[in-house]
Amino acid sequence: MRILVGSFHFYLISFLFSRANGFLTLRTPAYVSPFYNYSYLNLSSLSEAQAPKTARALNFSHNIIEKVTRSDLEGFDVLEVLDLSYNRIKDIEPGAFESLLRLISVNLSFNDKKLLVSGLPPHLKLLPTSKASGSVQLYEYFEKSSEAALEPSASAEELPRSGGLSVLQNLNSRLRRSPGNLLRRAEKNLTVSPTATSGPDFCTAPINGVLNLSHSQLSEEELTLKLDPDLCQVQLDNTLELDISHSDLEMDLLSLFILFLPMKNVQSIDASYNKLTINILDVEAICKFPFSKLVFLNISNNPINSLDTLCLPSTIKVIDLSFTNVSQIPPNFAKKMFNLEHMYVQGNHFIYTVRPDAVPTVPPGTVRINAISLVRNQAGTPIESLPKKVKYLKMSNCSIVELPEWFVGTMEELIFLDLSSNWISVLPDLPTSLQHLDISNSDIKIIPPRFKSLSNLTTFNIQNNKISALHPEYFPSTLTKCDISKNKLKMLTDVPEKLEYLNVSGNLIARLEPARHLPALANLDSSHNLISELPDHFGKSLPMLKYFNLSGNKISFLQRGSLPASLVELDISDNAITTIVEDTFGQLTSLSVLSAQGKHFFCNCDLYWFTNVYIHDPRVQIMGKENLRCSFPPARRGSLVGSSDLTLLRCSLGIQMAITACAAVLLVLTLTGLCWRFDGLWYVRMGWYWCMAKRKQYEKRPENKPFDAFISYSEQDANWTKENLLKKLENDGFKICYHERDFKPGHPVLGNIFYCIENSHKVLFVLSPSFVNSCWCQYELYFAEHRVLNENQDSLIMIVLEDLPPNSVPQKFSKLRKLLKRKTYLKWSPEEHKQKMFWHQLAAVLKTTNEPLVRAENRPAQDVYEME
């Protein structure tokens, strides 16, 4: 595509200042010389472009130039950079570069293979590349500068073999140290042959047309490489959406959009949350881009600061300039962005200052104040232009005091306007095309009669202002949705007839009583007012009402007919309602959601229908039922309504007596059956022996006890107890009481247990997981503990056969828990050398006399007897 001569004068600027930091340092920072780009113009000669002689850099790449003559370059006294790559140059007239005394770099790469360069000026040196066919490059030669020592070894062979990161580092390092590499493409052509590589690793492929580089913390150089047209053109052609948001990118908009030029099919660009700034140079006269499909641009949350020199593609239809620290919209903005349809500029600060055309003569000492603003703009309104095609305009939180006079006559296609959170005190004149208006969080006190002229308005949001009266005759007849909450309305008697949604919450309304039939109103929010009751005919005046919010008022009772039968959702939370009766809510057959949280309910039998029938109705979802609280009777004040004993049994005395009698008979029958089925008499007898054993007092205890020890163990541990413990102790001369051998036949089991414990010097407990699951072991443990307390002698010996996990001891073994914490115990080990120590320690304990209980408990805890 041929671009007009002189377009994109800024193209080379971006090469010099955004693509390679450190390429060129200006000698006079306060003055910037022009740079011109004439690439892709199908030029056949240099003179055809008629470039200005004051140019410091010229780009003639990608044309069809075949010859360079001395006359083509005469007069370019300040020219420093010349790019002639990607042409068809076969011949260069000798001495063509001699007059260019300030020339630093000439790029002749990718021209005719037979091109020969002769008669070079002394300050330039030729560096041919080994692989790039016909490509040569001229660099300024500094004999004493190490910066000019660019070795020919940096050939095309290096780049394809390197990884993405190493390639990036290699290119960046060469860009920094070589003053000759002022053009990024020249550096690339010096090292890469189009036929020698298929593309570096740093080219990111789009996914479903989306090239996502967000949150990547890209530097300007890294982004330049990822959007390189010669290395990544395939990826760029497939990109429909580009996302570089949240990348902390620092560059100006002009330089950024130069990088986007190769992306021919891009439709959407998101560059929000970076550090983008506006370009310094004003290039409005030559601001033309080849983009034909770009329609969306998001540059919000960037320090743009000004739109005066903005240069963007005119095809953009949606732009987001929110939170860009812009203080005014300049007059040329509408001319530049004439296709704009959606515009978002919220979060900026536009301060309007009234400037009268003529200042009248006033007496001395008179002070006249036209407007007060935080920032005084001497030029008048900061909103000096807006594109006529804008349909959606969002200017919330912009410190706007009023709209400019031309607004209503210019914005004739405006459909959506958001002016919320500004300092507007008077409703402005607005175009009649408007359908949605949001002017909430302002300082408006009245709605003027001219508001009715907005004949297409359907949605009106004016919440959180200072409206004290509502005049339906001032509202457009097309209005279907109105939010006038958080104002100062004291009554609501009438509303527009076609209104479908009305929000009057947060006002001072004490009574709701529409003066006429409202067949269209389907959603009414009157929460957080001062309403104490609803009239009985209120429901009939709103036959189509489906959503009704009455929360936060002072209603104590809702009578029959006060609610429309058409209701689908109802909110009566945080009122003073004491009961919900069937006579009122039973008629609401269409109700599906009821919000009724509150703390004033009377939890008596009047609430029985709600708590037992209505709250369990599957057709109705009760919201906030976990926050329903009782206020009466006093004993239940603050308790949950759902936990009230409002049952049929409590509210009916006859049923209560009948159920009580039936329950008593059933209980007797159940106990009788359980005793018969599970040998209840036997358990009673066992309990009797247990009680007798606990209460028995021995006046004469056996002085000479026949047994040295009694062994308590579980049946699962019987083999070990009989084959190891019993056999070993009896072989050592100890007399052991063993229940299978020494229990007296015919006596109760508990009696035998008690007898053996009382007639043994010691009681051995073989502990294991099966021990804690045995009820008989529990009896033996309790009897032994009872004996210890009676005799005041510690005679218990604990043997841990298997480890007891901390959570394996049931709660009923509370005594065992205490004993394990208090007493020293022996632990059995399968290792033979530890078993010897075990038997030695057990024999020693059995031979000792029983210590008094008090002294045993006060003794410091000892470690487990176990060989390490």
Write out pLDDT tens, residues 806-831. 666 665 565 666 666 666 678 888 88
Token pair recorded at residue 269: 């660009």
573 or 133: which leads in pLDDT: 573
Q: For the stretch 407-441, what's the b/e string if a residue is b when 16 or more beta carbons lie within 10 angstroms of its beta carbon?
A: bbebbeebbbbbbbbbbbeebbbbbeebebbbbbb
Which residue from 475, 416, 486, 413 is spatially nearest to 444, judged by alpha carbons? 486
pLDDT in tens, 168-212: 233 333 333 333 333 333 333 333 333 333 344 578 899 999 999
Alpha carbon distance 850, 770 (integer Å): 28
Mean pLDDT of 736-764: 82
Side chain identity at residue 590, one-letter code: S
What's the CA angle centered on 209, arms 204 and 212, to 5 degrees?
Answer: 45
Residue at token pair 């031979």: 847
* CB of 822 closer than 8 Å to CB of 857: yes
The CA-based diameter of the chain, rounded to the nearest angstrom, is: 140
- Sequence-ordered list of residues with C-beta below 8 angstroms from that of 239, at least 6 positions apart, any chain: 206, 209, 210, 211, 263, 265, 266
Alpha carbon distance 700, 697 (integer Å): 9
Mean pLDDT of 842-859: 65
Q: Using H for helix, E for strand and C for coil, what is the string for 50-117?
A: CCCCCCCEEECCCCCCCEECCHHHCCCCCCCEEECCCCCCCEECCCCCCCCCCCCEEECCCCCCCCCC
Dihedrals φ, ψ of 677, to 5°? -75, -40
Alpha carbon distance 555, 573 (integer Å): 10
Mode of pairing for the β-strands spanning 793-794 and 851-852: antiparallel
Per-residue pLDDT at 441: 95
| Helix (H) / strand (E) containing 83 | strand 81-83
Alpha carbon distance 15, 147 (integer Å): 20
Angle between helices 749-758 and 775-791 (to 10 degrees): 40
**229 — pLDDT class (breaks 50, 70, 90):** confident
Mean pLDDT of 410-416: 95
Token pair recorded at residue 785: 């503990």
Most confident of 528-542, 743-757, 783-797: 528-542
Alpha carbon distance 53, 34 (integer Å): 10
Mean pLDDT check: name the lowest of 39-48, 365-374, 648-657, 662-671.
365-374
* CB of 748 closer than 8 Å to CB of 683: no
Which residue from 555, 560, 585, 589 is spatially nearest to 572, judged by alpha carbons? 555
Alpha carbon distance 258, 440 (integer Å): 41
Neighbours of 559 (CB within 10 A): 14
Per-residue pLDDT at 825: 75
Side chain identity at residue 495, one-letter code: V
pLDDT of 292 strictly over 90: no
Token pair recorded at residue 439: 């002017």
Per-residue pLDDT at 435: 96
Alpha carbon distance 446, 820 (integer Å): 83
3-state helix vs strand vs coil in the chain, percent to 5: 30, 15, 60
Percentage of residues in the chain having pLDDT higher than 90? 28
Cα end-to-end distance, the chain, whole Å: 91
**143 — pLDDT class (breaks 50, 70, 90):** very low
Token pair recorded at residue 415: 């459909």
Per-residue pLDDT at 99: 84
Alpha carbon distance 33, 12 (integer Å): 12
What's the CA angle centered on 249, arms 245 and 255, to 5 degrees?
Answer: 105
Alpha carbon distance 42, 829 (integer Å): 97
**515 — pLDDT class (breaks 50, 70, 90):** low
**27 — pLDDT class (breaks 50, 70, 90):** very low
498 or 246: which leads in pLDDT: 246
Cα-trace Rg, the chain: 48
pLDDT of 454 strictly over 90: yes
- What residues does 298 pair with on adjacent strands? 270, 320
pLDDT of 713 strictly over 90: no
Alpha carbon distance 71, 732 (integer Å): 127
Per-residue pLDDT at 820: 65
- Give me the chain's average pLDDT, please: 77
DSSP state letter for 207? B
* CB of 454 closer than 8 Å to CB of 433: no
Mean pLDDT check: name the lowest of 104-108, 229-233, 312-316, 817-821.
817-821
Per-residue pLDDT at 168: 28
Neighbours of 241 (CB within 10 A): 16
Mean pLDDT check: name the lowest of 41-50, 479-488, 515-524.
515-524
* CB of 712 closer than 8 Å to CB of 763: yes
494 or 702: which leads in pLDDT: 494
pLDDT in tens, 348-376: 988 754 444 444 454 554 444 443 333 43
806 or 45: which leads in pLDDT: 45
Which residue from 755, 730, 725, 734 is spatially nearest to 839, judged by alpha carbons? 725
Token pair recorded at residue 839: 């038997």
Residue at token pair 């130069």: 258
pLDDT of 390 strictly over 60: yes
Side chain identity at residue 463, one-letter code: Q
* CB of 383 closer than 8 Å to CB of 350: yes
Per-residue pLDDT at 427: 93
* CB of 327 closer than 8 Å to CB of 351: yes
Q: Using H for helix, E for strand and C for coil, what is the string for 302-353?
A: CCCCCCCCCCCCCCCCEEECCCCCCCCECCCHHHHCCCCCEEECCCCCCCCC
Per-residue pLDDT at 412: 93
Mean pLDDT check: name the lowest of 327-331, 453-457, 458-462.
327-331
| Helix (H) / strand (E) containing 91 | strand 91-92
pLDDT in tens, 4-23: 323 343 343 333 333 333 33
Mode of pairing for the β-strands spanning 250-252 and 241-243: unpaired
Half-sphere exposure of residue 611: CA atoms within 13 angstroms, side-chain side: 23
pTM: 0.56
Residue at token pair 């060469």: 174
